[in-house]
């Protein structure tokens, strides 16, 4: 079933809505369901039910808003396409629900971290049509967490990052009283100087887009699975900076394997990429500022000032 297949699920909610979505998108009635937290429900399928012979556990996730299920589903399929990092199989989505395979959690291992680093480098290098582009079949008006995110193609990274990833969230934070005029001027300076702050002419990378530790899922099979993306075409240093921001287990091993694989592929990371971590953390910090306020506004402003000193 493709992302364009949309069943009449509007308004369905809770376990019953999840069960209906699972039946529509897998062809099997769930044997039972259990909450996973938030708006996600796990549903167990049994091959003995005689429907389509499918067994196992799937997850039904209710989208945070319009296009959310489509954005995540299309993003997962796009990330899975190169076959270099494990991604849960997507069964389908509609206006309200995304249905995908459940991946049993496991523990971080050095071997899994190194395999993930190599796979992530290959995923990024698989490329994207443009900076800011959405995944195929993905909406331009997408989501990151509980807030909107614009996926619109741009010819160069500085223009994309300024227009779609910094200025809209700074404006929202100003409107909320979280930044004053002087604070906003710091971000304006960052936007004006982006071509010099991020030197080089890298092609667009295929990004997960929301690569904090909660979305780096360590599976029971020992592999790292990518979940909950905000996928788009962007700069690969952005995904790496996100892992630094909120911490990922075995991060040194992940990054070491990443750098080695990128160099072997003839696309080593640019010099002083570590110094640009604050620049690439601006987007997630601004998203958190808009969503949660508090100390995130100060962190975002501090990161902007560090970026200007790098």
Catalytic positions are 210
Q: How far is CA 9 from the centre of its chain?
A: 25
Helix (H, G, I), strand (E, B) or coil at 13: coil
Q: Which two tokens stand for residue 126?
A: 């698989």
In the block, tokens 């902007």 appear at: 304
**Is residue 86 within 8 Å of residue 219, measured between CB atoms?**
yes
What values do phi and psi take at 39, rounded to 5? -110, 35
Cβ within 8 Å of residue 134, ≥6 positions away: 71, 74, 140, 142, 151, 231, 232
- What torsion do the CA atoms of 298, 302, 304, 309 make, to the nearest 10 degrees? 170
Q: Interior CA angle at 275 toward 269 and 277, to 5°?
A: 80
């Amino acid at each position: 079933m493709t992302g364009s297949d949309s069943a009449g699920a509007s308004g369905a909610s809770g376990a019953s809505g999840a069960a209906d979505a699972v039946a529509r998108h897998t062809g099997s009635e769930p044997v039972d369901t259990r909450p996973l937290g938030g708006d996600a429900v796990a549903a167990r399928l049994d091959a003995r039910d005689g429907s389509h012979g499918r067994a196992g556990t799937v997850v039904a996730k209710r989208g945070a808003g319009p296009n959310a299920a489509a954005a995540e589903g299309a993003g997962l399929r796009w990330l899975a396409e190169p076959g270099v990092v494990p991604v849960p199989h997507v069964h389908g989505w509609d206006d309200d629900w995304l249905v995908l395979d459940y991946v049993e959690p496991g523990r971080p291992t050095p071997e899994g971290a190194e395999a993930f680093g190599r796979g992530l480098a290959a995923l990024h290098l698989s490329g994207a049509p443009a900076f800011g582009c959405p995944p195929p079949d993905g909406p331009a008006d997408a989501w990151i967490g509980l807030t909107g995110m614009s996926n619109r193609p741009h010819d160069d990274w500085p223009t994309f990052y300024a227009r779609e990833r910094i200025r809209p969230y700074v404006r929202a934070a100003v409107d909320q009283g979280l930044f004053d005029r002087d604070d906003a001027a710091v971000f304006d300076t960052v936007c004006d100087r982006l071509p010099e702050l991020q030197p080089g002419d890298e092609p667009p990378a295929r990004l997960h887009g929301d690569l904090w530790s909660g979305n780096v899922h360590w599976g029971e099979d020992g592999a790292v699975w990518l979940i909950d993306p905000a996928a788009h075409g962007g700069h690969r240093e952005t995904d790496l900076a996100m892992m630094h921001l909120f911490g990922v287990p075995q991060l040194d091993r992940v990054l070491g394997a990443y750098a080695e694989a990128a160099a072997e592929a003839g696309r080593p990371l640019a010099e002083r990429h570590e110094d640009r971590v604050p620049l690439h953390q601006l987007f997630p910090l601004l998203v958190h500022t808009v969503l949660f306020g508090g100390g995130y506004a100060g962190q975002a402003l501090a990161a902007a000032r560090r970026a200007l000193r790098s």
